[in-house]
Amino acid sequence: MDTPSGALVRSHCVGSTAVVYASDYLNKLTGEKIERECRRQLDSGCRALVIDFSDTQLVNSIGVSILLGIIDIAEKGGARVVFSEVNSQTIELFEMLGLTRHVVLAKNEHEALLNLSGLATIPIAP
């Protein structure tokens, strides 16, 4: 899927889990692309989402709202959501706003997949 800059919203599937990579700045334009990709993955049968923030420097208010929308859609569809490799500043933001009540934060994509497979012991602390 294209981002506004012409790059792709990267994603791949591991079993029934979709891993979607957020871009460097999660705002309206990029957020909506990611939301559409998550919807597409859920509609095609994925039962869990990993949103990887390894490239993400900043999340603004619109990004937060869109992420809440993704969480909402996933919860309604009985799917789980894990955020991976979130930087410390964004973890603080998610903590402050209460997003972490609804998602698990994982150190990296591997940990996130382990968590979803039920093998991980504890999600990472912020």
Partner 1 sequence: MEPSTHKLIHTFGALADLGQEIAGTGDFNEMVRTSMHLLLGTLALRRGAVVECSGPGPLRCVAIWGLEDRAITGFEIEETEKQSFLKNDVAEFLARNTSSSNPFLNRHREQLVGEGIELVLPMIVRGEVTGLVLLGGKASGEEFSGDDFETIRAMVRHIGVGIHTHRLLEQLAQRAEENRRLYEELRAIYRDTVRAFAAAIDIKDKYTQGHSERVGRYSEIIAREMGWSEDEVEGIQIAGYLHDIGKLVVDRDIINAPYNIDAKLSSDLNRHPAAGYEILAPINHPYADIPLMAKYHHERLDGRGYPEGLTDEQIPLGAKIVSLADSFDAMTTDRPYRRRRSFEDVVRDLRENSGKQFDGKVVAAFARALLKEVTGEAKERRIIKMLGKNYLEGEQVEPLLHDLITDLEH
Footprint of partner 1 (CB under 8 A):
28, 60-66, 68-69, 72, 92-93, 96-99, 101-102
Nearest approach, Cβ of 39 to partner 1 (angstroms)?
13
Nearer to partner 1, 78 or 98 (CB): 98
The tokens for 63 are 């990004």
How many CA atoms does the CB half-sphere of 59 hold within 13 Å?
26
Give the three-state DSSP class for 6. coil
Is there a contact between 36 and 30 (Cβ–Cβ < 8 Å)?
A: no
Cβ at position 85, least distance to partner 1 in Å = 20
Beta carbon of residue 110, minimum distance to partner 1 (angstroms, whole number): 27
CA distance 37 to 7: 14
Cβ proximity to partner 1, 60 vs 87, nearer residue: 60
Closer residue to partner 1, CB minimum distance, 20 or 67? 67
Cα–Cα distance, 21 to 51 (Å, whole number) = 6
